[in-house]
Structure 1
Amino acid sequence: MAVTIAKERWTNKVAEVVLGTESNIVKIGGESTLPFLHFEGEMPNRPAVALEVWDMEPTNWPEILTSAYAGVLNDPVAWAKKCVEYGADLVCLTLVSAHPDNKNTNPEECAQVAKAVADAVNVPLIILGCGVEEKDAQVLEKVAEALSGRNFLLGCATQENYKTITAACMVHGHNIIASSPLDINLEKQLNILITEMNLAANRIVIDPSVGALGYGIEYAYSIMERTRIGALTGDKMMAMPVICLLGQEVWKTKEAKSTTEETPEWGSQERRAILWEVITAVAFAQAGGSLFVMRHPESLKQFRAHIDKLMQSNAY
């Protein structure tokens, strides 16, 4: 007996964002269906994965993580090259040294580091500030200028600093990460404010804020799912692809940081920590994430194997 599959008919799609130039291009977004339902629409671009690089050596990363980058953690250029060797689609350079509590690196020095990393690898960059909104506006303005025309992704822009970062992206040809704190209305409002400055909607990537597995992941999932449904039903201010900065969330959890000796009942730290990152990524891929920033190369490898399966056709 023939089986009839009920199919949802969506009227719109997620915008496609292009990162990088010439042969070093990564495309994200463009879906006309809920994630991986190939029988209902198209997913022209598979989820992309970036590995994170800092511009100063981390002091609070667990050994299971730092050992994967032994010998390069004090050199962001060498670290970025290592990420490309591990198969990252992009490199996410985080300028943590600019934070006043760290080195308080000035914007010009940050821009020099960003340019050195960009010149050393053949993949697009995601460039993040230090998380202090006023300082990030200053830093990313200089970074955008130093990397003018290279079509990278800069962030995070918030309601406090979006004007400066948006203007820099417009002048120097970059894309922007619009970051909001797990609130669908604030997310949409920030996208409206940025587009009102005449930055095209297909140059915006949404950061809705995410949590790690077991730490508010259900709420983050629901926000992302609502964003995708909004896009598919015609809301242009929710039709941007979503970035998940999940490495920074996963690797501060006790499940990832506790050693096998500290918590023997939890089993091997290596297996546990990597799976914590992989499963977090898998959940957000199902929710509608398009771009994932991870930390451990083995997490990237396992997540990519999962995506390979999900990208196989299930059309009826």
Structure 2
Amino acid sequence: DQARIEIEEAGEDAMNEKERQMALDSVRLGLDALKKAYGLSDDQFDALVKFAGAEAILKREPVLAVPASPAPAPVAQAAPAVTAAPAPVQDESAAKKAAEAAAADEAKKAEAAKKGAADKAAEEAKKAEAAKKAAEAAAADEAKKAEAAKKAAADKAAEAAKKPVAPEAKKAAPAASAAAVGAAELTLEKTPLNERAAKVPEASYKQAYTGAIRQTLLGDEASGIKVGGANTLPFHLFEGTMGNNPKIAFDVLDVKPDEWPDSLARHYQDVLDNPVAWAQKCVKEYGADAICISMVSTDPNGLNRPAGEAAKAAAEVVKSIEVPVIVWGCGNGEKDTETLREITSLIGDKKVCLAPLSDSNYRAIGATAMAFRYPMVAASPIDVNLAKQLNILLENLGVSLDSVLIDPSIGALGYGIEYTYSVMERIRLAALTQKDEKLQVPFICNLGREVWKAKECRLPSDEMIGDQETRGILMEAITASCMLMAGGELMIMRHPRAVSLTKSLINGLMG
């Protein structure tokens, strides 16, 4: 029996050891599961294990039972089984709670760290936004300051540009006198050409002309001037005579011009708004042979001044001076007819030259001029045949060609002057060499208005193209000299200095 009891106890001990190993494996699996579930590191896991003490308890060797009497045997047999089994469950629960506590603590720390990072990022964003706003405000302030400085500089420059204009005009006005704009006389050749060319046959340099240019009277018999009368080419005095020296009329506008450059306007600064005083100044100070009153204010595309009102202003000019007057319309046939008729009804016995007559209004104005025995200007657009045709129409109307002047249409220097010169030359050759009576009338050249609207006369003084006023003067004087060489008998000009230079040329060539 004793042997049997020992065998049974040995079997029971073996069973208890097996259960202990199984419990230990369960604890380990549970702890590994907790470790994975809560994402614990190895250090955290070891701390929990040691804290629980489950592993140390389960690793202890069990105490072997001491043989005893049969009575107490059941107690010794049951004690290890009852007390050893609950230990792993209790330790597993404690480990789980510790793991949960550690995980919660880590979660709190992570949440706190996340919140701190978010707060820091918000603070940084706020600072960046404030810095951006400050930079934008500074940039806007700088832009405002720069704009204000730019505007102030522009205003200052504009003010500086404005200031010299008025004083310069005021200073220049007194200089607009005959002495200031006069030109020196040309030195004349005292020996005639026929004496200088005595060894050359006359047939080599002289030509006989069969025709002659009619002579036309402008103004009254007592105070008028005659133009035309040449029987030779311009200034060919070795071949014939020119009859009368070419004459120059000053251009006076019936309204103050706003497009004239200062280099021209300054000579009339004190009279530009008064046509009567303007015309008188041209006669008394600049020695005008005649006055051309330009009715620019009547242009329907401009001021469109009523014909009656404009005619009264022109009539005052006609009555205020003794030299011949040319009344030049705006170029609109219908308006010119109305204006010129109004003028003829207001000037009484004064004789004026009416201009321009074209194929659109020659009947109406031609009849008026013929009734009052006024000279007239037949205008054609740079064409020999059209100029001749208009003279034929006037003659058919009953107008005597002795009272007609041809306006061939003038191109300024650099602006078609070669076309004008060519047409005038052909007309004059036909009149002198072909005896074309319809073309044997004097030329009138309204060149001042063409020259002074050229851009070269308006460009400011420059080192390359020179002084502005000198440039304009020379353009007008050279244009006039070209027209004289082509046969022009009456020039209409504007700048007094250009007039003086042209007169000096005429006097020098005429001897």
Whether TM exceeds 0.5 here: the answer is yes
Corresponding residue of 2:445: 244
Corresponding residue of 1:225: 425
Residue pair 2:228, 2:441 contacting (<8 A) in 1 also: yes
What runs of 5+ residues in structure 1 fail to find an aligned partner? none
In the alignment, the residues of structure 2 paired with residue 238 and residue 35 of structure 1 have an alpha-carbon distance, to the nearest angstrom, of 16
2:449 is the alignment partner of 1:271: no
The answer to which of 150-159 and 56-65 deviates more is 150-159
Residue pair 1:175, 1:203 contacting (<8 A) in 2 also: yes
Corresponding residue of 1:181: 381
Pick aligned residue for 1:117 from 311, 317, 340 = 317
Corresponding residue of 1:291: 490
In the alignment, the residues of structure 2 paired with residue 201 and residue 292 of structure 1 have an alpha-carbon distance, to the nearest angstrom, of 20
Give the direction of change, closer, same or farther, for the CA distance of 1:145–1:236 in structure 2 (3 Å limit).
farther
Corresponding residue of 1:39: 238
Corresponding residue of 1:258: 459
Paired-residue identity, %: 43
Q: CA deviation at 1:123?
A: 0.3
Residue pair 2:250, 2:492 contacting (<8 A) in 1 also: yes
SS of residue paired to 2:217 = strand
Give the AA of the match of 2:199. A
In the alignment, the residues of structure 1 paired with residue 242 and residue 302 of structure 2 have an alpha-carbon distance, to the nearest angstrom, of 41
SS of residue paired to 2:355 = strand
2:306 is the alignment partner of 1:106: yes
Give the AA of the match of 1:167. A
Number of residue pairs aligned between Structure 1 and Structure 2: 310
Deviations 1:83-118 (A, max 9, x none): 112111000000111112333222222221122101
Corresponding residue of 2:481: 282
Q: What TM-score do the two structures reach when normalised by structure 2? A: 0.60
The answer to which of 139-148 and 51-60 deviates more is 139-148
RMSD: 1.2
In the alignment, the residues of structure 2 paired with residue 256 and residue 153 of structure 1 have an alpha-carbon distance, to the nearest angstrom, of 29
Deviations 1:33-61 (A, max 9, x none): 00000111111100000110011000111
2:326 is the alignment partner of 1:126: yes
Residue pair 2:319, 2:347 contacting (<8 A) in 1 also: no
Pick aligned residue for 1:151 from 351, 372, 389 = 351
Q: CA deviation at 1:152?
A: 1.7
SS of residue paired to 1:244 = strand
Residue pair 1:145, 1:172 contacting (<8 A) in 2 also: no
2:509 is the alignment partner of 1:310: yes
Q: CA deviation at 1:241?
A: 0.3
Residue pair 2:380, 2:407 contacting (<8 A) in 1 also: yes
Runs of 4+ displaced beyond 4 Å: none
Give the AA of the match of 1:298. R
SS of residue paired to 1:46 = coil
In the alignment, the residues of structure 1 paired with residue 317 and residue 209 of structure 2 have an alpha-carbon distance, to the nearest angstrom, of 41
In the alignment, the residues of structure 2 paired with residue 110 and residue 30 of structure 1 have an alpha-carbon distance, to the nearest angstrom, of 34
Question: More helix per residue: 1 or 2?
Answer: 2
Corresponding residue of 1:30: 229
SS of residue paired to 2:230 = coil
Deviations 1:161-195 (A, max 9, x none): 11111011011221110000001111110111011
Corresponding residue of 1:74: 273
Q: CA deviation at 1:148?
A: 4.5
Corresponding residue of 1:83: 282
2:203 is the alignment partner of 1:3: no
Q: CA deviation at 1:23?
A: 2.6
Q: CA deviation at 1:3?
A: 2.2
Structure having the higher Rg: 2
2:395 is the alignment partner of 1:195: yes
In the alignment, the residues of structure 1 paired with residue 382 and residue 455 of structure 2 have an alpha-carbon distance, to the nearest angstrom, of 22
Pick aligned residue for 1:161 from 361, 376, 384 = 361
Q: CA deviation at 1:213?
A: 0.7
In the alignment, the residues of structure 2 paired with residue 227 and residue 145 of structure 1 have an alpha-carbon distance, to the nearest angstrom, of 35
Q: CA deviation at 1:70?
A: 0.8
Greater RCO, CA 8 A, separation 6+:
1
In the alignment, the residues of structure 2 paired with residue 213 and residue 284 of structure 1 have an alpha-carbon distance, to the nearest angstrom, of 10
Corresponding residue of 1:138: 338
Corresponding residue of 1:235: 436
SS of residue paired to 2:238 = coil
In the alignment, the residues of structure 1 paired with residue 306 and residue 402 of structure 2 have an alpha-carbon distance, to the nearest angstrom, of 31
Q: CA deviation at 1:20?
A: 0.8
